[in-house]
Structure 1
């Protein structure tokens, strides 16, 4: 988590000139920089969307996102609004990262042991069932009842960004715990979308997606290296899921789970295999520098280039595919996908009529489900699973930290807003549900931050080195 070594060095140098500014930037750094999904751009886009939807330009702003965009091929066409294309075509990229990251943590990270992996799974079950139960206890039997699905999911970007604020002051297993919990939570939300908020599921699309997914797995088993077939098959998986009527974000999770989390070539094997080629490259390069004949020099340089190509491919084989994929997608998700989602989906028109719904069963149900139900369900189910010997807390993660993660899980923003739109369309009930999600997310973020702040190790004062 945090900045790259190069940027860290630049920040250290700037600390000599403006210590106060540097301290401020270090506090907001986890929200905008680093190699993982962050919540800063999403937060700014959310604020901008709230401002625009309550400005004189609200109609034009919302009309832009509601503009139809059609893809035609002969007589066939697929038409959705711009906002829907963002939901269906861009948001799955976020879930590719989540799927790949979770697989990495469960195969080679803090959740590698099955009992440790069962811990967030148990928490996710409680984090879905208890919030829905509390929501229905308050809003069941009212016109807001269809919004029960909006309290199921967790906003992974905001949750991970708040954990990243503490950087090395919290154990690494805590981030893995939050990530795995949120991933299972989001998959649960996507299944709810598929089976509770979809009119019908076309089995043909499911079959096409399943065949393409099997193709990806098959290529992996035979050791296929080129990325082109994988990209094409991933697009087919996405298209099949979209055509089936299931929300396309679930395709992102499935694709992410197929990405390898181990390198094709271990570093110790790399050292053994390339040494001879390095020597051959050095010999050919040196001989080319000394050659008197142009033709001989050309042949020697081509031989050196061939050795370089071999070394390049072998070096590439030492990189983990999931890490490379996450590295490529993360900047696009942080600065394009999630901000566009917020701009196109956050539609809360603040008015006296809307504020009067704060104590309505729908808003109270959403707030109670997310702020109380998430930590209560997460803590209760993980404690029960641990007491029964079915699960084990990650190393160095305390029970107060578990409560903090459960509180952060109440930040139900991204998919919660989307489910609210599916449940209520574009009317007043959707705005009331969105208001409840916004209030709950602010409360959950504040509570989770305070708990983790108390759990984190004290911040060590780091003095900038003296300038030469």
Structure 2
């Protein structure tokens, strides 16, 4: 339990602190908060937000920043959401990669079949509720909010896992099921971001730069040293690369990959994902909240350990830059996002989990009941981090985006709903 609380404290509480500061600031002095978010750090012609779009957002305040005519501007918001959040998604990608590729990965084999079905339901359910309710608002409103369909599909791993332990007890098989669902949800979310939410006009040829960076760094600094060391138990070349070069070649490759994503039109926050699989990794993973995970010394885990504290700070600023919503912005998108999470997620997880477990006879873990699927869906309805991120890319800055973000913030209500659902479903807690 210590590692869970440690993870929650290091990552999520700093995120919440940033979000609370942003909420108070935006509702006490919205103008100064807006200036902070859109504050220009670098005018250039290569990376950043479109200059003319930024000038529209800033209005008369843009004239206070004298600059030469350029095509782009790196704002405080762009720095956090598009550049620094790439490290957060790299850590999420690492967990997904290990779950899929390693022999004992949690998303491999029959044990993952029913959770994967439940994950599919946990995405289709929220989308259906969101778009279905939006349709009843009329064609005009539907057109305004439809692009936010992916916001309620997200699951915040840390908070959901903690609440799941409170509801089921640390030793209940439903907790493991929930973690598998959350990791699969993250993987699907990354795919959705890449496919459905490009950051600009698509120029796929730039992805060749990302591909070349990944292949190049893997061949030169991972595969080749191991190939040359074949049959030599001392592994001198691999050891030299690890000790002398460490993660630097991968950082350089990551920068090139990020630039390729930024120029291709895909969201640059995903730009480090192609580099994650190229790092040397252990033959097994114990899981994101396992105590033993911190003792793995392969380069992939070592890099994750090094990123730990920087990402904590990044998440604080992510909350600060994205959660500054005025309470007056609460409107239809708020309730659409919240309904998608709190209604669509539990029903979707229950329905598709039932189909996987009983119709397709894939089964449930020993000690887990069908009704537990609904409770798991309630727990998984805590969207928060990724929901906030998707809201920031699904809509242009303005009332609709602000309202959708408020729905992501309100998803914390799912924690209380989960505790009530657990009581009504007569969940028997199992101690770890």
Give me the TM-score of the superposition, normalised by structure 1.
0.69
Q: Does 1:132 align with 2:127?
A: yes
**Alignment map for 1:285-434 (pairs within 5 Å):** 319-333=297-311, 335-351=312-328, 354-355=329-330, 357=331, 360=332, 362-387=333-358, 389=360, 391=362, 393=364, 398-434=369-405
Determine helix, strand or coil for the equivalent of 2:412: helix
1:73–1:150: structure 2 CA closer, same or farther, 3 Å change rule? closer
Determine helix, strand or coil for the equivalent of 2:41: strand
> Which of 414, 423, 432 is the equivalent residue of 1:444?
414
Q: Looking at CA atoms only, which structure, 1 or 2, has the larger radius of gyration?
A: 1
Task: Measure the CA separation in 1 of the matches of 2:365 and 2:302.
Answer: 26
CA displacement at 1:42 relative to structure 2: 1.4
Q: 1:144 matched to which residue of 2?
A: 145
1:131–1:112: structure 2 CA closer, same or farther, 3 Å change rule? closer
Deviates more, 1:414-423 or 1:233-242: 414-423
CA displacement at 1:79 relative to structure 2: 2.4
**Alignment map for 1:194-209 (pairs within 5 Å):** 194-196=195-197, 198-209=199-210
**Alignment map for 1:264-279 (pairs within 5 Å):** none
Contact kept, 8 Å, 2:372 with 2:427, in 1: the verdict is yes
CA displacement at 1:71 relative to structure 2: 6.7
> Which of 189, 192, 208 is the equivalent residue of 2:192?
189
Q: Gapped runs of 5+ residues in structure 2?
A: 47-67, 227-237, 285-294
1:371-418 Cα distance to aligned partner (Å, 9 max, x none): 111122223223323335485545665545543432233222233233
Q: 1:276 matched to which residue of 2?
A: none
1:406-462 Cα distance to aligned partner (Å, 9 max, x none): 2233222233233333343222222222222222x12223223555686463669xx
Q: 1:21 matched to which residue of 2?
A: none
> Which of 435, 438, 450 is the equivalent residue of 2:406?
435
Task: Measure the CA separation in 1 of the matches of 2:324 and 2:163.
Answer: 24
Contact kept, 8 Å, 1:120 with 1:177, in 2: the verdict is yes
Contact kept, 8 Å, 1:212 with 1:236, in 2: the verdict is yes
1:346–1:122: structure 2 CA closer, same or farther, 3 Å change rule? same
CA displacement at 1:52 relative to structure 2: 1.0
Contact kept, 8 Å, 2:250 with 2:279, in 1: the verdict is no
Contact kept, 8 Å, 2:90 with 2:276, in 1: the verdict is yes
Q: Gapped runs of 5+ residues in structure 1?
A: 5-27, 265-316, 461-468
CA displacement at 1:197 relative to structure 2: 5.1
Task: Measure the CA separation in 2 of the matches of 1:371 and 1:163.
Answer: 15
Task: Measure the CA separation in 2 of the matches of 1:241 and 1:168.
Answer: 40
Task: Measure the CA separation in 2 of the matches of 1:399 and 1:261.
Answer: 37
Aligned CA-pair RMSD: 3.4
1:48-95 Cα distance to aligned partner (Å, 9 max, x none): 11111111x332122112112227599998522111111111112112
CA displacement at 1:368 relative to structure 2: 1.6
Give me the TM-score of the superposition, normalised by structure 2.
0.74
Task: Measure the CA separation in 2 of the matches of 1:187 and 1:379.
Answer: 23
CA displacement at 1:186 relative to structure 2: 2.0
Contact kept, 8 Å, 1:363 with 1:436, in 2: the verdict is yes
Task: Measure the CA separation in 1 of the matches of 2:309 and 2:34.
Answer: 26
1:385–1:128: structure 2 CA closer, same or farther, 3 Å change rule? same
Q: 1:24 matched to which residue of 2?
A: none
1:234–1:117: structure 2 CA closer, same or farther, 3 Å change rule? farther
Determine helix, strand or coil for the equivalent of 2:267: coil
Deviates more, 1:429-438 or 1:444-453: 444-453
How many aligned positions are there? 370
Task: Measure the CA separation in 2 of the matches of 1:81 and 1:258.
Answer: 31
Q: 1:96 matched to which residue of 2?
A: 90
CA displacement at 1:367 relative to structure 2: 1.8
